Chains A and B, each alone.
Chain A
Amino acid sequence: MKGSRPMRLIAAPLLGLALWLAALLPLHAFEIEEVAGGFDHPWSLAFLPEGGFLVTERAGNLRRVSASGAVSPPLAGVPPVFAQGQGGLFEIALAPDFADSGTLFLSYAYGDADANGTALMRARLEGDRLDGAETIFRASPKSGAHHFGGRMAFLDDGTLLLTLGDGFAYRENAQTLGDHLGTIVRLAPDGTAPPDNPFADTPGARPEIWSFGHRNVQAVLVDPASGRVWINEHGPRGGDELDIVRPGGNHGWPLVSDGVDYAGARISPWGLERSAELGLVMPVHVWTPSIAPAGMTLYDGAAFPEWRGSLFVAALAGRAVHRLTLDDVRVTGEERLFTELGARIRDVRTGPDGFLYLLTDDSDGRLLRVRPAR
């Protein structure tokens, strides 16, 4: 460079700094816009192939949202749900062949305060109503109104994973196979247990069980590239987890946890470090204090190239979306996004347009779109 030596000593680093800042600035330049609002505790989101969305409200409604954000009245044909506490209408999942068949699945809480649990309904979307609705699976009942799980994902072979919970007061039942409490079940599209389920031939075990030792699983997704199944679940006070699940795995609740009971008492004599010794699956990542993870997506869109391969985890109590960078099965970094909303985030999904979509958990909940800044 021309100029005196002192000038060169200053100019070069300044130029380097300017270039570095220029590269850094567009990194997270996004804007958040509202697609639609006025939802009563929206829980789950599905993208319609022709554009637009389906949104569930926990109180028991399924609504259509047009691409421009017009919200329909509740669709007819949705089952009555047990909408108390954490119970209600949960996840909407479109069958892999939805574009041809119109088949969709809804998870929800059935029953009453004395005997309730998580159920799965299959139906066909016909315009503004559901036809041919039938309940194809009911998890074993419990009392109370907490810890239902309720998220769904499809495996490559067309079977469906449905996450459940331990019903809070029955946490030891997460370790037993004679009921569905504290498990993830794998079902055929008709709700029956596939014969190759890990406990299909175990005497006394429910054949639907795919993995167990869970507390309240609030997300499940399948990585299409690797086939890996990722979940997150709520710990008690502390101990929220991100896990990779394999058939037959025991995820340890309540034998080990990084959390303690809400009143401060221990869950068990052991911490997560004893997992291997006790034959339990270690989590990939733990959040203590709790963030209350909810919906989750593995981003593979084109709109945010720097976010490809990251896991986005909605957080309720944490009022954010956590972006986790991954190196195979290790979490290499974590950042909290969208905290400016100050909202409990119930769901985060990757849209077909490569944008991120969020649902806020509120009596006046919103469907939000995250897009690159224009």
Chain B
Amino acid sequence: MRIFVAFLAATLLTALAGTVAQTQFVLAALMAVGAPVGLADRLSMTGADLLGFTPLYAGLIAAGFLVAFTVAGLLRRRVAVPRGLLFAVAGAVCIGVMLYLMREVFFGIPLIAGTRTTAGVLAQIACGALGGAVFAGLSAPRR
């Protein structure tokens, strides 16, 4: 049960943080061509993306984390790496691979517009690492 709650929290955190990040990258690209984006615009679009994009993203992340954290859990016994670091790396790699596969499967089309730049991809990977770290912390066995 503790693991389930930790998994849910990690997935939601990565999905929410990832959404907010991708929206800011999209806004930055619009502003670079002169779009007059104000604070109200930024807030409304971020909110719209949290409603319109996060559910799908969370579903994808959940599927990815299921695989990644299971693998990390199995590796835990063999590798002398701090628990938090191991799951953070698992989360990061999971998101990186997921974004790569999405582009390959969809004929080279970047489905998530906020990941068209290297910085955008790194931001998502960082959110994956954060999710992994949170999972590690919340699912740690109590002493």
Contact = CB atoms under 8 A, between A and B. Distances in A.
Interface in B39-95: 41-42, 44-45, 48-49, 52-53, 55-57
Interface stretch (B4-12, B26-34, B125-133, B134-142): B26-34
Contact of A260 (B19, B37, B52, B112): B52
Contact of A263 (B29, B35, B107, B111): B111
A85 B48 CA distance: 31
Given A85-B107, A263-B56, A264-B53, A269 B37 contact: yes
Most chain B CB within a 10 A radius of its CB, from A254, A255, A266 = A266
Most chain B CB within a 10 A radius of its CB, from A173, A255, A263, A269 = A269
Contact of B26 (A113, A173, A265): A265
A175 interface: yes
Interface in B97-143: 107-114, 116
Contact of B116 (A169, A264, A265, A267): A169
Given A85-B107, A268-B35, A172 B30 contact: yes
B14 interface: no
Interface string A160-186: 000000001101110110000000000
B52 A266 contact: yes
A319 interface: no
Determine the main DSSP class of A at the interface with B.
Answer: loop
Contacts, number: 76
A270 B41 contact: yes
Contacts of A113: 108
Interface in A235-272: 254-255, 260-270
Contact of A255 (B35, B42, B48, B111): B35
Interface of B: 19, 22-23, 26-27, 29-30, 32-37, 41-42, 44-45, 48-49, 52-53, 55-57, 107-114, 116
17 contacts: A113-B108, A145-B108, A146-B107, A168-B109, A169-B116, A171-B113, A172-B30, A175-B34, A254-B30, A255-B35, A265-B52, A265-B114, A268-B26, A268-B30, A268-B45, A269-B44, A278-B36
